[in-house]
Amino acid sequence: MSLVETGAAVARAAEDLSDHGLIADWYALGPHMLLNTLVSLEDLQTLPGVSELRSIAHRTGGVSLTHEPVDDLEAWWATPSGSRA
């Protein structure tokens, strides 16, 4: 299981427990920390663990970027689901 898949599993469990802080903590790691390889934005968008974690984080308000996005991946990560960065 990859780190991002682990994050998605933790987010699922945390959502069941209404632990939005834990979801936010995992989501705050960002795409660069959660993936162990460089990927394109298009590839990132198709990864099931990424999609699930992002969906849960946005649904529960667990998204907070404390800096300007450094690239397209971070911009997409912080943009609400259903929106295009």
The tens-digit pLDDT sequence of the chain (85 residues) is: 899 999 999 999 999 999 999 999 999 998 889 987 888 899 989 999 999 999 999 999 878 777 788 888 888 988 876 554 4
Q: What is the pLDDT of residue 81?
A: 66
Q: What is the pLDDT of residue 85?
A: 43
Q: What is the pLDDT of residue 61?
A: 87
Q: What is d(CA 50, CA 68) in angstroms, rounded to the nearest whole number? A: 21
Q: What is d(CA 4, CA 10) in angstroms, rounded to the nearest whole number? A: 10
Q: What is the pLDDT of residue 18?
A: 96
